[in-house]
């Protein structure tokens, strides 16, 4: 986790960030907050938002959005959200109860976009998911996973399944960009649209698989509604393009029905109930 020297986490800073994350005064019309599209019960994602990436373990990320069009620190990403996405009217935040929180967090009651972004970044760094049954298994609890989930895990980490190359480490993402063969026509899409490099056409960011059972719909355009559909795509539906990732098999990995079911079972073991119910992460109001 990267924490910049000019924004160490403090109890007051996290509290302010949490308040702002749930505060509809962040939007000019006073109807939207971060939490409007990033709901805790869905692992800080939303089934109603087709292209939304969940807010999970972003403290380890240095690129944001599906095409990585924004690169930098979490503070810089949050400043972009404040100034460009929400276009926050700071006058809405200049009210006594919030000014007291800004004072506690930063030493004066001054409300600025940068301070709001820094507080949001502090809160985002508390959105850490690491307490799934999969984690319990890795930490030595051999009874944490069922037989089907264990078979699915073995497939996930095998050269036959190939999942682990991109969904790597305990973060279950490499935070990089790949063309996984969703579409035959990819010219000028994905990462390539940002960089102008044709070799990156059709590449999209690898999302974390933590809490993936809760974060439907899936893929950068929300085309799949269920994990079963996702696994079936990897098994049967991969299409070739010149920029297809070399680890992806054209036509799919040809998994049996049992292998697909086991893989889906394993993906369900990545759900973290602590993360989705922790009162310290919920709406403070």
223 and 140 housed in the same domain = yes
Residue given tokens 């690491």 in the structure block = 130
pLDDT, mean of each 10-residue run, the chain (285 residues): 93 99 94 95 92 92 93 95 91 97 98 98 98 98 99 96 95 97 95 96 98 97 97 96 93 95 99 98 97
Pairing between β-strand 177-178 and β-strand 70-71 as defined by DSSP bridges: unpaired
- 6 in a structural domain: no
Sequential DSSP letters for 238-285: ----TT--TTSPTT-----HHHHHHHHHHHHTT--HHHHH-GGGS---
Structural domain for 35, as ranges: 11-128
Q: Are residues 110 and 170 in the same domain?
A: no
Residues 204, 124 within the same domain: no
pLDDT digits (tens, 9 = 90+) for 174-193: 999 999 999 999 999 999 99
Is 117 a member of any domain? yes
User: How many structural domains compose the chain?
Assistant: 2
> Whole-angstrom Cα distance, residue 164 to residue 173?
9
91: CATH: 1.10.760.10
Residue 77 lies in a domain: yes
Q: Which of 80, 95, 128 is the last residue of a domain?
A: 128
276 is a domain residue: no
Residues 96 and 64 in one domain: yes
Please check whether residues 160 and 237 belong to one and the same domain: yes
Stated pTM of the model: 0.94
Dihedrals φ, ψ of 196, to 5°? 75, 10
Domain assignment present for residue 279? The answer is: no
Residues 76-93, buried b or exposed e (16+ Cβ, 10 A)? bbbbbbbeeebebeeebb
């Amino acid at each position: 986790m990267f924490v910049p020297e000019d924004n160490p986490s403090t109890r007051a800073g996290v509290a302010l960030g949490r308040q702002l994350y749930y505060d509809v005064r962040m939007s000019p019309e006073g109807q939207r907050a971060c939490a409007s599209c990033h709901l805790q019960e869905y692992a800080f994602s939303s089934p109603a938002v087709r292209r939304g990436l969940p807010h999970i373990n972003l403290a380890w990320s240095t690129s944001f959005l599906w095409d990585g069009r924004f690169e930098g620190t979490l503070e810089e990403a949050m400043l972009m959200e404040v100034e460009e996405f929400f276009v926050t009217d700071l006058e809405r935040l200049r009210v006594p109860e919030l000014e007291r929180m800004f004072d506690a967090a930063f030493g004066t009651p001054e409300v600025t976009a940068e301070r709001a972004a820094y507080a949001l970044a502090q809160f985002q760094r508390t959105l850490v998911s690491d307490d799934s049954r999969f984690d319990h298994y890795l930490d030595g609890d051999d009874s944490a996973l069922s037989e089907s989930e264990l078979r699915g895990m073995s497939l996930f980490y095998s050269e036959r399944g190939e999942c682990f190359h991109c969904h790597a480490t305990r973060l279950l993402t490499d935070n990089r960009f790949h063309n996984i063969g969703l579409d035959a026509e990819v010219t000028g899409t994905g990462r390539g649209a940002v960089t102008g490099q044709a070799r990156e056409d059709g590449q999209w960011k690898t999302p974390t698989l933590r809490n993936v059972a809760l974060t439907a719909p899936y893929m950068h355009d929300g085309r799949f509604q269920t994990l079963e559909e996702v696994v079936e795509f990897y098994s049967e539906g991969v299409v070739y393009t010149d920029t297809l990732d070399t680890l992806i098999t054209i036509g799919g990995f040809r998994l049996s029905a049992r292998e697909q079911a086991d893989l889906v079972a394993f993906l369900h073991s990545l759900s973290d109930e602590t993360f989705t119910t922790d009162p310290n992460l919920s709406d403070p109001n």
